[in-house]
Amino acid sequence: MYVPSMETERVRGNPAGITHEHVAQNLRTARQAIGMDVRTAARLMTEAGRKLAPSGISKIENGDRRVDVDDLTALAYILRTTPAALLTPLAEAVTLTGVPESFLPEEIQAWVAGAVKLTTEDLVRYWKEQRFQAINSAHWAEEILAKYDRGQVGITPREVYQERYDVQTAREEHATGRLLQLDPNASLAFE
């Protein structure tokens, strides 16, 4: 009697992962945000060349049916969003199928959006850019605050610029901390 080995045994597929759950939730949220019902979504999918019954859309949203990449792109199109938005976890949910949980939510979102690769060197580049932008924004707000302090009052309340300064200063500290986590020897000078 022939018994297949693990190497030759046919695998039907992996179970749905956490990314599947993100897509299901984001699909429903995007559809409801524009006031579209499942029948309209199904009709628009057919018009886009991807026949999908209303029950199919409901099954996807309930997590009972998987989405292939062709359906994902067509769904993003008809819902006036992007494939990345359908794939991206909510800010508090940082995991995606196959991706280690060691990445920050912002890094996952930037990766899904195509702004960064999840490699140490690219994350170092990303955080250096974020730090540079935060420093520049804080400096700009600081200059405006100095004008207010000299009596040059503008239309926007001073508190708005103070809040912007505080947010950007905190952002710089956050970016610096993450940068040093990724590369303790990172140069914090601008290159």
CA distances from residue 69 to 16, 84, 89, 156 in whole angstroms, order as listed: 14, 11, 17, 46
C-alpha span between 63 and 96 (Å, rounded): 15
C-alpha span between 57 and 62 (Å, rounded): 9
Confidence at residue 47, expressed as pLDDT on a 0 to 100 scale: 94
Measured over the CA atoms of residue 163, residue 169, residue 132 and residue 174, the dihedral's sign is negative
For the domain bounded by 18-112, which CATH number is listed? 1.10.260.40
CA distances from residue 11 to 18, 66, 139 in whole angstroms, order as listed: 20, 17, 57
In tens, the pLDDT along 128-177 reads: 999 999 999 999 999 999 999 999 988 999 999 999 999 999 999 999 99
Among 51-60, 69-78, 88-97, 130-139, which is the least confidently predicted range? 88-97
Residue ranges of domains in the chain: 18-112, 120-182
Q: What is the DSSP letter of 16?
A: P
- 33, two tokens: 């945000």
C-alpha span between 23 and 28 (Å, rounded): 9
pTM of the predicted protein model:
0.68
C-alpha span between 132 and 105 (Å, rounded): 20
Residue 29 DSSP SS3: helix
In tens, the pLDDT along 90-143 reads: 766 667 778 888 899 899 889 988 899 999 999 999 999 999 999 999 999 999
Q: Find tokens 């508190």 and name the residue.
A: 159
